[in-house]
Amino acid sequence: MTSQIEIQLGKKGLTNEFLESLKKKFEKPDMKNIKISVLKSVRENGKADVKEYAEKMIKFLGNKFSYRAIGFSIFVKKWRKETIKQEKVYKPKTFS
């Protein structure tokens, strides 16, 4: 069973207080997933704002977190180890 809570990002937007409360919620040992609903009053540019808010949250929380933006919701997940973003590098095949 995974524990997930739902919170809303309202008209005040992404404030330091919101980010700190999000960080505190993840400090609980059984908390691994949080769903954040982005309300209509805070999103001016539609889904582009949702992705921007998600990236700011992950930057604040650190490398142990990842997100998935689906519609106007952001699902933040906490991992045990830091996630490492790897870029795909093209290596041409060598023929002998």
CA atoms within 13 A on the CB side of 77: 10
Residue 23 burial (CB count, 10 A):
14
Q: CA–CA separation, 32 vs 40, rounded Å?
A: 26
What local confidence, expressed as pLDDT, does residue 1 receive? 47
Q: CA–CA separation, 86 vs 44, rounded Å?
A: 32
Domain range annotation of the chain: 3-78
**What strand order describes the sheet that includes 31-38?**
3-9, 31-38, 73-78, 65-70
* This model's pTM is above 0.85: no
Domain 3-78 has CATH 3.30.110.60: yes
Give per-10-residue mean pLDDT for the chain (96 aa): 79 91 87 90 86 92 91 90 56 60
Q: Taking a C-beta distance cutoff of 8 angstroms, is the pair 69, 47 a contact?
A: yes
